[in-house]
Chains A and B, each alone.
Chain A
Amino acid sequence: LPAPLLDDSYGKELGDETAAKSEDFQDSMKIAWRYQNLPKMEASPTTHTKFGHYYDVSKKMSPQLCQSVKWHSFYLHEELSLEPKMKAWNMNSGYARLLQSIQRIISQEGFDGSDPQKKQRNVLRIGIQSLGSLLWGDDVCCSDTPEDPHSLTKFLYVLRGLLRKSLSACIITVPAHLIQNKAIMGRVTNLSDMVVGLESFIGSERETNPLYKDYHGLVHVHQIPRLNSLICDVSDTKDLAFRLKRKQFTIERLHLPPDLSDTVSRASKQDLAGSAKLLSSGCGAMAIGKRHLDF
């Protein structure tokens, strides 16, 4: 059962399409519900007019729907070993195999425009789950000084190259709460076009904070793409929170509730101010405030 995992994670997106591929149906729901707020294009014909925007977390996607779409999967442990003719890549072998697989699909399906016979009208959507975790053979999540600290960033760089030269977009989830090494997370951010973080209230002190009682977590937009232009499209609102219901995942602006109590004590005001301080972190591409202006 795809129980929603409300844990900290960063998502990455190059382009504005979301992923629709994974190795089994359960996973497709897990990825889908997080990013359903993004517009989705679908090649296969569908009768549902609101397709792509609403998901029922308690149900699995129907097999017929999955089979009607052309998709590829990559499950590391089932992949054959590296083809001997590939040169040494100086990178975690799991990542290297994934990159080779992606490159093969891009060139075989004509997403890079190299084959004039195969005119692609669609964008290749790629979804990668839990990058950096042990599942990919990388120990960056377990240790402060990983064995190969550059594998993850090298992978992202090569992936960026593949995406830039083809008609594709990629969304990646990274279990940021497991990566202790702040330097690596900083480099990952610099190598991404868009970085969004989801922070759940479960298990944190914010769960009982009256400021957050309607929501399940916060959405942090750390970076937005600044492509082909000097400026980037920064929204006015920096404080976003999300709410997960059975059929809907919404992201809303977070605002302080009106202070209606008769006895407003100093302590409670300070609590809210403390929470509000955490809200004012700006978008990484523009500026992040270090100090909160106290009145």
Chain B
Amino acid sequence: QGQFVLLRDTRTDGSFLVHHFLSFYLRAGCKVCFVALLQSFSHYSIVAQKLGVSLAAAKERGQLVFLEGLKSCLDLLFGEEEQPGQPSPLQFLSGSCSDLRALFDFVRVSLAPAEGDSWKGPVLLVDDLSVLLSLGAAPVAVLDFIHYCRVSVCCHMKGNIVVLVHSNEDSEDEENELVVNSLCHHSDLILWAEGLATGFCKDVHGQIKIIKRLSLRQAAGQDLVQTYQYKIQDRNVTFFARGLSSAVL
């Protein structure tokens, strides 16, 4: 409860982790607010189907609130004048404000417990945070947004937050690295998917480091780091100890 999980990928695509958490929390009966900035609803829906979850059904029964960033952006830029009571969550795009307050309000309202709700714990899922920087949000604004979400979702509502960011030391993208490093410090759990240092391999798609930040909660605690390698399949991801891929054994 009240956990902040950071999904991080370097030199590879960590979106399989997002798909996993989405179907995991929906199956567990949590109320999920999914801020999907880079892909369409149908993309997630088709993958979720393979993982055994129907996003459309979850939306219909009110378990899933899905913000499709691309659609929201188009509505903002090409749509009619917005109603005063319903500002667009991506309002910062039009330049009228420089912070992500509208996005936070959207999240807060979506996850606020409603009458007759029987869901276990709210969850905020974001794919992916690095896009906000590409859209002109300042790193400080992004960090503020996350901070407000943590207070609201993790502390008040005792829910969890899962956020995906891309990072790459070679990228020279200082703004992004700033956001990622800051989030790392405040995360309870970090799942870091990395491409193999030796290059592409058909049987081992990458390596994942699981970092349990015990040092956050305990004064003298040490972070627990576990490393596995993985291979992504059509409906599944298999994990195995380093060097013990089934192709090798």
Contacts and interface: CB of A to CB of B under 8 A. Distances in A.
A287 B198 CA distance: 8
Nearest to B45: A228
Contacts of B130: 187, 190
Given A164-B40, A165-B71, A150 B136 contact: yes
The 4 closest A-B pairs by CB, nearest first: A289-B199, A287-B195, A282-B200, A90-B95
Give the bracket for the number of chain A residues in contact with chain B.
35 or more
Contacts of B47: 228-230
A280 B195 CA distance: 14
Contact of A90 (B12, B39, B43, B93): B93
Interface of B: 11-13, 15-16, 19, 38-40, 42-43, 46-47, 50, 70-71, 73-74, 77-78, 93-95, 130-131, 133-136, 166, 168, 170-176, 195-202, 205-206, 232-237
Nearest to B197: A290
Given A226-B15, A287-B205, A290-B197, A90 B136 contact: yes
Contacts of A150: 134-136
A232 B200 CA distance: 13
Contacts of A231: 232-234
A181 B176 CA distance: 14
B136 A227 contact: no
Interface stretch (A4-12, A32-40, A154-162, A203-211): A154-162
10 contacts: A157-B134, A158-B74, A191-B134, A228-B42, A229-B50, A230-B16, A286-B205, A288-B195, A289-B196, A290-B197
Contacts of A293: 198
Given A183-B173, A183-B176, A287-B200, A229 B234 contact: yes
Given A230-B237, A285-B12, 15 more contacts: A154-B136, A157-B131, A161-B74, A186-B171, A187-B134, A190-B131, A191-B134, A227-B43, A232-B13, A234-B202, A281-B199, A282-B195, A286-B12, A288-B195, A289-B197
Nearest to B202: A236
A162 B42 contact: no
Given A165-B71, A230-B234, A288-B11, A153 B134 contact: yes
B234 A288 contact: no
A181 B50 CA distance: 39
